[in-house]
Structure 1
């Protein structure tokens, strides 16, 4: 206890240099924990984007490309799936549900997804959580739209406002469908997935808006024109969007499937990949996500290596500071020897100082880590779709801190050893 108290007083006496060392260690610990937490939560967020979906089917392309385009709205597929193929496959034995999706349009940089009401009934994220509404309801007419939470918050939209869909993905729009505005009837609750950044419109509206129809006529005109053009679309005379959710596009981007049994999943996946009328690809999202993270493993290792290097540099900085101060403390060591301190006690004193410095640096680093997580969680959620779990340190994170503590103690043995030999050579004489 006496040595511990003496070490504490010694650190206070040199608080300027000790504070700089503490900040260096704290920042390195904060970076290490932050990178590890973001890495784990990013992986979890990606894995939680889609749940309870057994197969994703699209045009034949790469597994990861199909997953990224259909689920994460990253990239696009050059080809689609014909409606006839979708109907045929979705009617196979063992298919519990299917969700057709059509991409290719956007609104102010946000993806527009055409789908059916089955999307709101069967789509699951995280641990089989269903989609739910914070305001409004699902659409029941083709001129209505349901917004993700981020779209509504970022653009300041509310219910009953009208939005115009543009052809083209991302911020590049080649044509605005000004004659077919959509009325906002629902806003979804946040999910931490690409759903939050998506506008959802009825699948029946995709073919209609691309056919040049207008949604600005009254119901009477709608019935008159429906009678006149019952079996086709007249592009010279605009027709308003029908109020019933009927119709479908000739092609869709992809479709999601759920099955009654895993056995049906494997069987139908094989049949789809060998489907002769059309070149299709069926992927299992959980397997493809695992492949994606295996590809990104090198990035994880680089991030971990970067944070480890920062920790090593901070510990070496502590070593440099201790060694620099030690040459100035030979008078102090001689005085301690003169009052009865033994060499091994001086060795222990310096070791305790380095251990206390490392411990306080780790504690301060944890405080900075949680401050950063609280401050940056919202940004990561809205801009990267990464849901940060602000919880107690995990076993692995505590292990990392333990390793840093052990490394700090080992590094502290170097100046402690030098202090030991200084005390032997100097004895009780005071040397400067």
Structure 2
């Protein structure tokens, strides 16, 4: 009878307590690998919040600031861009498409984005995925609004719901464009990006709600009705930023330098991929903290296994003595206990990996809808296999301590136990 067979028989003999420890370690493995997979895929998703966009252009400021307000809708621009400047740059021979962005208004804490139909045609996120509608369609009328999935979920909006846009940001703004209500005509599918928390209207609509406003205040005695607005020239005078897609990536740096040296007004063009990597680097301590927490959970599971083996060792001293009496050497006893610990750890890892993939398979959509993290089922990376190897090695080391103690027991010590 081999030592491995003996270890398996010992496991079955004490399956109740060891099963609880197996579940504990397997959940630790799920947490360790799950945190690493979520961290890795969140980083990939973050880095591709906007994809297939070659340049983002805004008023001259910092690279991170421009990225935050144009893509993540956080903060405000230092200045706006003249519409004529946008048109001139968009007509450059190297530009394939452009998306104008106008920010500054909100609805119950959610940002309102003014843009053109090009936003739905050319904006990409993730693995070059297009925006798609769960209900309705893109805006067509002047007072149509398309809302993100999170806006619809939190506010309970459906197609046809009425929306009142407020001037500026804030949940309780008193400066509302309540004389020009909007109607929801489309609800976007969840993307896991800031688009989910955005209300999207046309640039003409942004102009329409501000025709009788000046410096953030509605002009007294000059109220313009929605019907009157329809007959007005609603070409924007300025926008907040714009995105560019180029005919060739080779012209990216040439056009970036050209925009940064634009003489008509101070502008800045950034490469979104580089800016996203720089921004993620600022939050690297968060992923380190998450990994440290999950590693501590695994350590606590292994220590629990060690405590269980040590506590059961006293009860098994007669068993060890009997094994010695039939010819087992001290090294055999040491190996047996290490194998038992290793067996529990390996089974725990296998169970943990299985549970993790089941969660990713059946709860992936729910996790994306609730937390904005898209989980893609793929094979474990080299680093994750290394993590598993470290867990297995820790389990084997946990069996070394009780194994060494059993190694030190003498045959007479085991036989003299009083029952």
Same topology, TM > 0.5? yes
Aligned 8 A contact 1:54 1:257 in 2: yes
Aligned to 1:223: none
1:308-363 superposed Cα distances (whole Å, 9 cap, x missing partner): 23222322332233223223322211122223333332222111110112123223
Aligned to 1:306: 293
Within-5 A mapping of 1:30-429? 30-169=30-169, 171-212=171-212, 236-240=222-226, 242-243=229-230, 247-370=234-357, 373=360, 377=364, 380-423=367-410, 426=412, 429=415
Structure 1 residues 422 and 244 mapped into 2: Cα distance closer, same or farther (>3 Å)?
farther
Q: Distance in 1 between matches of 2:71 and 2:10?
A: 59
Aligned 8 A contact 1:335 1:430 in 2: no
Structure 1 residues 123 and 21 mapped into 2: Cα distance closer, same or farther (>3 Å)?
same
Q: Distance in 1 between matches of 2:12 and 2:232?
A: 74
Q: Distance in 2 between matches of 1:246 and 1:130?
A: 31
- Secondary structure in structure 1 of the residue aligned to 2:225: coil
Aligned 8 A contact 2:137 2:187 in 1: yes
Aligned 8 A contact 2:112 2:201 in 1: yes
Structure 1 residues 155 and 374 mapped into 2: Cα distance closer, same or farther (>3 Å)?
farther
- Secondary structure in structure 2 of the residue aligned to 1:100: strand
1:208-248 superposed Cα distances (whole Å, 9 cap, x missing partner): 202248xxxxxxxxxxxxxxxxxxx9962423265589623
Moved more, 241-250 or 60-69: 241-250
The Cα shift of 1:142 comes to 1.4
Q: TM-score, normalised by structure 2?
A: 0.88
Q: Distance in 1 between matches of 2:231 and 2:132?
A: 23
1:250-272 superposed Cα distances (whole Å, 9 cap, x missing partner): 32111001111223221121122
- Secondary structure in structure 1 of the residue aligned to 2:415: coil
Listed as ranges, the gaps of 5+ residues in structure 2 are 214-218
Q: Distance in 2 between matches of 1:402 and 1:2?
A: 24
CA RMSD of superposed structures (Å): 2.8
- Alignment size in residue pairs: 412
Q: TM-score, normalised by structure 1?
A: 0.86
Q: Distance in 1 between matches of 2:281 and 2:256?
A: 23
Structure 1 residues 307 and 199 mapped into 2: Cα distance closer, same or farther (>3 Å)?
same
- Secondary structure in structure 2 of the residue aligned to 1:299: helix
Moved more, 294-303 or 193-202: 294-303
Moved more, 126-135 or 136-145: 126-135
Q: Distance in 2 between matches of 1:342 and 1:244?
A: 98
The Cα shift of 1:141 comes to 2.2
1:183-205 superposed Cα distances (whole Å, 9 cap, x missing partner): 22222233232222221101011
Structure 1 residues 153 and 310 mapped into 2: Cα distance closer, same or farther (>3 Å)?
closer
Q: Distance in 2 between matches of 1:245 and 1:359?
A: 73
Q: Distance in 1 between matches of 2:172 and 2:263?
A: 35
Moved more, 315-324 or 46-55: 315-324
Structure 1 residues 135 and 302 mapped into 2: Cα distance closer, same or farther (>3 Å)?
closer
Q: Distance in 2 between matches of 1:235 and 1:287?
A: 49
Q: Distance in 1 between matches of 2:29 and 2:250?
A: 48
- Secondary structure in structure 2 of the residue aligned to 1:75: coil
Aligned to 1:216: none
Q: Distance in 1 between matches of 2:322 and 2:262?
A: 89
Q: Distance in 2 between matches of 1:246 and 1:345?
A: 91
- Secondary structure in structure 2 of the residue aligned to 1:328: coil
Moved more, 93-102 or 19-28: 19-28
Listed as ranges, the gaps of 5+ residues in structure 1 are 214-232
